[in-house]
Amino acid sequence: MMLVNNVAVEEVQNTMGVIHFGHHFKGKTTIAIWRSRALEKSLSGEFAFQCKFDRIDEVSTEALALSEEFYKKVQLDCAEWIKLGATKTAMVYGLGENQQLKNHE
């Protein structure tokens, strides 16, 4: 196994609890942080919730609407923390580009 841009990344993940949208529609919530081991620095954070169901028609329209409203509200309320289009993997690959720019200055 090779390191990308010589960065050893560790992921710290914690299940925070269960979110309920009513009508028996619920799911687990997690927070994950990617950290550079060498720099002991956080690179990226992620909040997620996952609701499982077999068929979409099993989910009440009210619960589905509430889950969508929550998803949008989190993005609006946390806009200053969100980097649109970014992925954790792309950030690690981008670390090399940033280091190369610093070395040329």
Domain ranges of the chain: 9-104
* Per-residue pLDDT, 85: 77
Query: pLDDT truncated to tens, each residue of the chain (105 aa)?
Result: 677 777 778 889 999 999 999 999 999 999 999 888 877 888 888 899 999 999 999 999 999 999 999 999 999 999 998 887 777 777 777 765 554 434 434
> Where are the strands (E) in the chain, listed by range?
9-20, 26-36, 41-51
Length of the chain: 105
- What's this model's pTM, rounded to 2 decimal places? 0.68
Distances (CA, A) of 46 to 50, 54, 82, 87, 101: 13, 26, 10, 10, 27
